[in-house]
Amino acid sequence: MLQAIETRSDPAIGRRGFLKMAGAGGLALAFCLRPGSAFAAASDGGGSTLNAYVVVTPDNSVTIFATNPEIGQGIKTSFAMIIAEELDADWSRVKVETAAVDPKRYGNQSSGGSMSTPRNWDTLRRAGATARAMLVAAAADEWKVPAAECSTDKNTVIHAATGRKRSYGELAIKASQQAVPGAGSVPLKDRKDYKLLGTRVTGVDNLQVVTGRPLFGIDVRLPGMLYGNYTKCPAVGGKVANANLDTVKRLPGVKDAFVLDGNGRPEEVMPGVAVIANSTWRAINAKRALQVTWDESLASKDNSTEAAAKARDLAKGSGDHVISNVGDVDAAFGNAAKTVDAFYEYPFLCHATLEPMNTTAWFHDGVMEIWSPTQAPTRGLSQVAALLKLPEDKVVVHQTRVGGGFGRRGTNDFICEAASIAMKVNAPVKLQWTREDDMAHDFHRVAGFHAFKGALDANGKLTAWQDHLITFTADGKQPVHGGDLPVAEFPVNVLANARVTRSMMPLMIPCGSWRAPGSNGFAYAIEGFIHELAVAAGRDHLEFRLEMLGDPRWLKPGDPASLNTGRAAAVIKLAAEKAGWGKSMPKGSGMGLAFHFCHLGHVAEVAEVSVDDKKKLTVHRITVAADIGPVVNLSGAEAQCQGAALDGLSTMVGHQIDIEQGRIKQLNFADYPLLRMRSAPPVDVHFIQSYFSPTGMGEPALPPIAAAICNAIFAATGDRVRRLPLSKSGYTI
C-alpha cells in the first residue's frame, strides 16, 4: 500500500519536480487513500498510481501534500496532523502543500458530507507510521542495532542505550532504500500517546488568509488574462431568443459577446450570453447593458407561495408513499391518553458563500487548464472533458482555496461555463459571477413541510409517531436532493409504533447539497415536535428526550455509522450540564434543547434566549456538546461547531428564498440579511473524546440549532414557532 521512490523513479511527479520538492534527495512516500485498493504500475513501469505522499528532505523538513479541497473546514491542516502524529514529526518543521488534481494518482478528490476525515483516517495514520518505520529501519541499519531498540521524537530517531541520534533529514536517502513494510504490519499509536492530535493547531494557511494573500479562485491572475461573465435566463429552462450583442461589443473594453447554447443541464451549461472584457468592472458594466429576449416556453413557472398553500392541502391526506411503517400506529393512537398534532414548514435557502462562483480557464496547446475554487475538482475534470469532448489527460484542474462551499461548490456549473467560454477566447479568461448571479442560479436548499401527530399514554410516554412529509420532485419519481427522509430517521428507529409517509410536488428550480443536506430542515421540525410532546405530557424536555433513546445500543448492530443511543444520551446530558439546564430563569427568558445525529456525528445543543415585548430575540449563549470520535485539531473542530451554530442561527432568523414565475426574488444581501456580529452569541463547545471512528465537523453541529432556539423561545414566551424564518412570526434579532 506504500511505496518508497527515489528521485528518478516516479514519472508522475517527474525528476525535475521531485528535485524541486526534495532538495536534491530524500524520502518520498506515496500512499493510497482508498482502503483496500492496490497500486497500479505506471505505463512505463517506473512508478505507481499515487493518491498522496510525504517528502522528507535532507534539511530535516517534512512536506505533506493535502489532496482534498480546503473549503474552510481545516482539512489541509488536519490531514497533515494525522500523518505527522504517527510520523512523530516536529510540527514546526512540517510544510503543507495543496496536491495536484490527478485522479490517476489520487482517486477522487473532493470535500463534502463531512467525510474527508472518516474516509482517510486509518490510511493516513498508516502512512505516517510506515514512514516512521522506514526511518527507524535506516537508523537501526546504520547503527547495527535492532529497530525495536530505537524510538522517535520530533524528526529524530533515538537509540537510548547508546545516546545516539539522527535527524530524519540525515536518514532520508537511506530510508528511501529500505523495504516498505506491509500496510498492516506497522503499529499505530494508542490515543493516550498522541502528542499533536487533539491539541489546538493554527491552520496552515491562516497567516496568508488574514494578510490577504492570493489563495482563492477569485485571486487568480494570469498574463494576458481577460474577464468574463455569463447571463442565463432568470427562469431555469429558458433559452436565448435574441440579444443586443452588437451594442455590447462596442462598449469600452469589451472584447467579445456571444451566445452559448450549452447542453441544457443546470449542473453544467445552460443557454446564455457570455461577455468578455479587459477588466471585471467593464465586463459587469457590459452585462448591465445587455438586453436579452428569452424564450421561456419550456422554462420554470415555479411559485413557492402556491407550493406552500398546496402543501397545507396535501397535509390533510395520508401521503402518497410510505417511507416507514412499524408496529400498529392506528391502534396506538386509538389507545392514547392524549394526541398532539402540528404542522411545521421551512423555506428554500441559498448558500450565500462569501466568494461568488468563479473559475479561470485557458485553452492552449490542446489542453484546457482550469483554476477553480471547487469542492469536487475530480468530478469537474471529468465533466469538462466530456462536455468539450477532450481526453481527460487534456484537462488540467488546479484547486484553489475555497471562500465558502457549504455544498454549493460540489456542483461544477461555474467550471463548465468557464471552460465552454474559454474554448471561444484566445487567452486565459476568468469567469466571475455577480452576487445576483450567485443567488439567482444557486442549487437551493429545498423547502419542506411536515404534518405530525403524536400519541402519549397516561404516564406521559410517547407511544406512537406519525409524520407526513410534503416535499418536491424534479422527475415525478424521487424527491429532489435533500428533500427526503431516511427510512430509519429518528425517532422511527426507537419507537414501537411509527409511520412516515410522503407526498411530492413538481419543481424545476434546481436543488442541491446545503450544509447537512436534509438534516438542516427536518431536524428543526422533528426536534421541535418532540418538545411539543414533552410539554403536552407535562414533563421536563431533557427527561422526555432521554427516555426516548432507551438503553445504550447501536440502532443498527455492528454498524458504527448508525446512531448510538448511548453516545446520544451522553452529549445531551453534557450539553444540559454545561448550559445549566433547570436553573431559574428571569421572566421572558428560557432554554431550549435539541439533538441530532448526522454525518456520523452525535451533537446536542442548548440555547439560552430572552424575548422582549416587541419580540426582539436575544440569544445569550449556545452550548454545543459533540461526540465525533477522536478530535484531530481541537481548534478547527471548535471553529466548525461555532460556525455551524451561527450559520444556523443566521439562516433561521430572516433567510428565505421566494420563487415567482420560476424566478428567485431575493438577489442580494439587502433581501437576504446575514447575521451581524453584534447579534452573534458566544458558542461554548465541549467534546467527548471517544474511541469511535472519527468524523468531520463541518455539518453535524448545524441541524440542532433551529429547534434549540425555537424551543427556548417557547420556554421564554409560550409562543410555538412552527414556521421558519423567525421573521415570519414577527421576531427580530
State the pLDDT at residue 53.
67
All three cell numbers of 317, joined, read: 391526506
589/442 Cα distance (integer angstroms): 37
203/606 Cα distance (integer angstroms): 28
pLDDT tops 50 at residue 37: no
Higher local confidence (pLDDT), 34 or 371: 371
Structural contact between residues 571 and 629, judged by C-beta atoms closer than 8 angstroms: no
State the pLDDT at residue 14.
38
373/400 Cα distance (integer angstroms): 5
In our burial notation (b when 16+ CB lie closer than 10 A, e otherwise), range 624-655 reads: bbbbbbbbbbbbbbbbbbbbbbbbbbbbbbbb
611/719 Cα distance (integer angstroms): 11
Full DSSP string of 465-478: EEEEEEEEESSSSS
733/678 Cα distance (integer angstroms): 10
Torsion of the alpha carbons at 192, 197, 200 and 205, rounded to the nearest 10: 170
| Mean pLDDT value of segment 203-209 | 96
pLDDT tops 70 at residue 4: no
State the pLDDT at residue 55.
87
All three cell numbers of 629, joined, read: 470520535
pLDDT confidence of 717, banded at 50, 70, 90?
very high
- Judged by average pLDDT, the poorest of 312-316, 419-423, 553-557, 634-638 is 553-557
**HEC sequence for 24-89:** CCCEEEEECCCCCCCCCECCCCCCECCCEEEEECCCCCEEEEECCCCCCCCHHHHHHHHHHHHHCC
399/410 Cα distance (integer angstroms): 13
598/90 Cα distance (integer angstroms): 35
| Mean pLDDT value of segment 460-477 | 98
Q: What angle do CA 534, 536, 542 make, to 5 degrees?
A: 15
pLDDT tops 90 at residue 48: no
Torsion of the alpha carbons at 216, 68, 76 and 644, rounded to the nearest 10: 80
Full DSSP string of 404-435: --TTGGGS-HHHHHHHHHHTT-SS-EEEE--H
Bridging pattern class, strands 358-364 and 367-372: antiparallel
User: 166: helix, coil or strand?
Assistant: strand
Report how far apart, in Å, the C-alpha atoms of 655 and of each of 8, 175, 297, 349, 728 are.
56, 56, 30, 7, 10
State the pLDDT at residue 107.
81
Q: Which of 41-45, 64-68, 272-276 has the highest mean pLDDT?
A: 272-276
38/433 Cα distance (integer angstroms): 41
pLDDT tops 80 at residue 13: no
Structural contact between residues 585 and 591, judged by C-beta atoms closer than 8 angstroms: yes
Task: Please report which helix (H) or strand (E) contains residue 650, including its range.
Answer: helix 634-654
| Mean pLDDT value of segment 278-283 | 97
35/127 Cα distance (integer angstroms): 12
State the pLDDT at residue 45.
27
pLDDT confidence of 354, banded at 50, 70, 90?
very high
State the pLDDT at residue 653.
95
pLDDT confidence of 26, banded at 50, 70, 90?
low
State the pLDDT at residue 606.
98
pLDDT tops 50 at residue 382: yes
Model confidence pLDDT, tens digit, residues 111-140:
999 988 998 898 889 889 988 999 999 999
State the pLDDT at residue 123.
82
User: 606: helix, coil or strand?
Assistant: strand
Q: Quick one: which of 313, 63, 36 has its CA closest to 169?
A: 63
Q: Quick one: which of 351, 355, 10, 423 has its CA closest to 176?
A: 10
* Percentage, residues of the chain above pLDDT 70: 93
Torsion of the alpha carbons at 215, 411, 248 and 664, rounded to the nearest 10: -120
- Judged by average pLDDT, the poorest of 20-24, 94-98, 190-194, 369-373 is 20-24
Q: Quick one: which of 360, 145, 376 has its CA closest to 267?
A: 376
696/116 Cα distance (integer angstroms): 7
State the pLDDT at residue 180.
84
pLDDT tops 70 at residue 524: yes
402/74 Cα distance (integer angstroms): 11
State the pLDDT at residue 481.
96
| Mean pLDDT value of segment 343-349 | 98
* Percentage, residues of the chain above pLDDT 90: 85
In our burial notation (b when 16+ CB lie closer than 10 A, e otherwise), range 76-101 reads: bbbbbbbbbbbbbbbbebbebebbbb
What does the mean pLDDT of the chain come to?
A: 92
CA 63 vs. chain centroid, Å, equals 26
Structural contact between residues 67 and 33, judged by C-beta atoms closer than 8 angstroms: yes
Model confidence pLDDT, tens digit, residues 427-455:
999 999 999 999 999 999 999 999 999 99
pLDDT confidence of 50, banded at 50, 70, 90?
very low
Q: Which residue has the cell 462551499?
A: 405
497/325 Cα distance (integer angstroms): 8
User: 379: helix, coil or strand?
Assistant: helix
State the pLDDT at residue 51.
27
All three cell numbers of 394, joined, read: 487534456
pLDDT tops 60 at residue 21: no
Model confidence pLDDT, tens digit, residues 232-273:
999 999 999 999 999 999 999 999 999 999 999 999 999 999
State the pLDDT at residue 385.
98
221/215 Cα distance (integer angstroms): 11
